[in-house]
Structure 1
Amino acid sequence: MHHPASIDWDSARAALFEIARARLSPAVMTLTVHDAIGYVLGRDVLSPMPVPHYDSSAMDGYAVAGRSPWTLKIPDYPDDSTQNIHKLTLALAAGEATPIFTGGLIPEGCESIVRSEHARLEQQDAATLLFSEHGEPAAGKDIRRAGEELDRGALLARSGTSVTPRLAAALAVGGIDEVDVYEPVGVAVAFSGNEVITSGVPGPGEVRDAFMGAVQPMVSTLGAQVVQSRRLPDEAQAFTSWLQTTDAPVLMVTGGSSTSGVDMVRDTLAEIGATYVFESVSVRPGHPALAALLPGNRILLGLPGNPLAAYTSLYSYLPALLDGACQRELRTLPTAPLARDTQAGRGGTALILPCALNSGELTPLEHRKSHMLTAFASADALAVVPASGASAGELVGYIRL
């Protein structure tokens, strides 16, 4: 039996990132800012205006000029309550004041704002005088200046940035209606295994399908799109035909990637002239996983047949591939301390452990062997424990689920 050379987990992700960056080029499309949430920007977004785009009041109160007391001037407010009164202003001379609302346009001659809660009004003859209970306001007090956050032409968001609801809000404030985003990378998925059944209670020698209903939403959550999903028999001709006739940029197969006599993926890759990105990764669960460059600049991810091994591989490698395809930096993992000592995997391999993440601490869960899913089902994160192991309190990287 041939045992392919293994590389470490970080190197596998980096290699897949680089090949995707060089070989994949998803199309760019234009969407409204809010429809773009969940997509990745395909071009830089520059601000078409300064932010804020005009001088405005930071508080409800009074715009004032000169020193107190100030003679109050009242704008001619419309009777229609739906009208925008934030734009109504009266030019001020020294010793004058006019009401203003938060976000209201600063009138000509205004030097500062007296907050409503600091103001006192007195009627003297025909005039209403304004006094400040907190003394003379400093020049510019409670005035938001145009451009104090961003200049016109400033970078609002860089290509490769994921459009989150928070970013969409910032873009809208910047006057952006539409953005260019990458079309989701298409993924064709094949599920192998003659022993797999799709419904009912499995008998001895059978297993229930753990992939077909779950992989598509997982792939979507990670930022790609399943464009084809099918089940293949454990038969080389069927697998070869699928590889040669599927034109999605990314192909993914579960099972069949081992080196045993019944696993057909590696022999088929050799026959069609594929080039390995990696043949094996020193990590458990997650063995044996592979990645290969297929003819036509397509990339194959070969996931193990054991469910936890397959899912740890999916979460390990597909995000790195998508980072490369979208021409952004390979994302770095957040870190958190382990709750207890954790030994390295056998043979000095790294470990991918389903963990609870409580109070910023990673606690490995029980029942985490490669064929088990109960820990994965309830986990908050996958901790990446290096091949040297890690002690309690030591920081390790993790993938948020």
Structure 2
Amino acid sequence: MGNINELCDDLLVKILLKIPTKEIVATSLLSRRWCSVWKLVPKLEFHDYSYIYHATSAAPSEFINKFLERSITPVLETFHLTLCRRDYAPESFEKWVNVAVARNVLDLKLLYYLICRDPIRFPMSLYAHETLVVLRLQGMIIEDVPSKACFRSLKILSLRDMSYSSDQTVDRFLSCFPILETLVVRRWLADNVKTYSICLPSLQSLDIEYLVGGYQDPRYDHGYVINAPCLKYLHIVDHFSGFCSLVNIPDKLEAEIHLRFCDSDKLLRSLTSAKLLSLCLKPQMDSCLKGDFDQLVSLELCVMCSLDWLNIILKHSPKLRVLRLSRTRHSCQNSRNVRTNWERPSCIPECLMSSLETVEWIAYKGTEEEENVVKYLLENGNLCLKKRWCKASYEILSLGPRS
């Protein structure tokens, strides 16, 4: 077997890409052969958790500076910083980003945990970087977006704990991404945004979370306007906002939606072309739907708040094949008085007699109401009890087609 030291630099670099940056630099101590190999590695991943763990060592700015100064790779493919300390100077942060931009970085992650400081300003040099493909940000404030800014190559964007100067700033910033395919948004109470507008013609996957502690009073003037004609996957969990408007939503969308306070009827009318739905929605009084879910083949409902939707959606879903009921949705773990008792429908839904093949009830408790639902499905559908087992601390009830 040959000696690893006999491998060419390209192969050694591929090996080093699989280990953390600090260990990459430490390989320079192995032998003379390794002294300069680490300088060719097109990756800097630095995670500073020293503040969380109450470390007393000097700020790691020196490590980052020396790595960037000594690195000789012409392209820095990956540049990831996770910072938690309170002693990073904004000018140092800006300088590191400038170096990454000069090295044509492709995958940039700048996570700044807001433990004891205000958000850090979004580096202006990034607006001139047109070859970036992946951008993940946390703990920054976006204010002035240049009129000619355009991330022409960026396909994946993640925005966590961000702040903005206004609603219009969000709109203007997102307009800089003409070919964006994946967007992840994690909001917080201090983002200074009421209407979070997302108008992205190329977007295929959208993931939004807006979680608040306790029972915050809803803000009905806060919410979303989503215009994404190419969207394939939509995931929203929001315990705070009061509206969600979906515009130009395509057919065969897969949507997972947990909204505590929005107008559920209006939202569902925008999703009648969805193919897969997972819902945690409190019904309105006298809820009714106009139009059918003609494409819907799979439905998941939170039984703690959304079981009242069961009769309504089944009635309007002639092609439904899979039904999943669950009480494990985090949107309702601590909810209070969110639903009424299930009532046996007067008419049997078409899907129950023709297309429905599988029913799964996760965290089945066997209450009187749950037994009534199961009994109704068995009596009126082509179903029988298939499996009933325990997984962890909850029971799973499975119904399938009769033999």
Q: TM-score band (shorter)? A: under 0.3
Greater helix fraction, Structure 1 or Structure 2: 2
Normalising by structure 1, we get a TM-score of: 0.21
Of structures 1 and 2, the one scoring higher in RCO (CA 8 A, sep 6+) is 1
Normalising by structure 2, we get a TM-score of: 0.20
Please identify the structure whose Cα radius of gyration is greater: 1
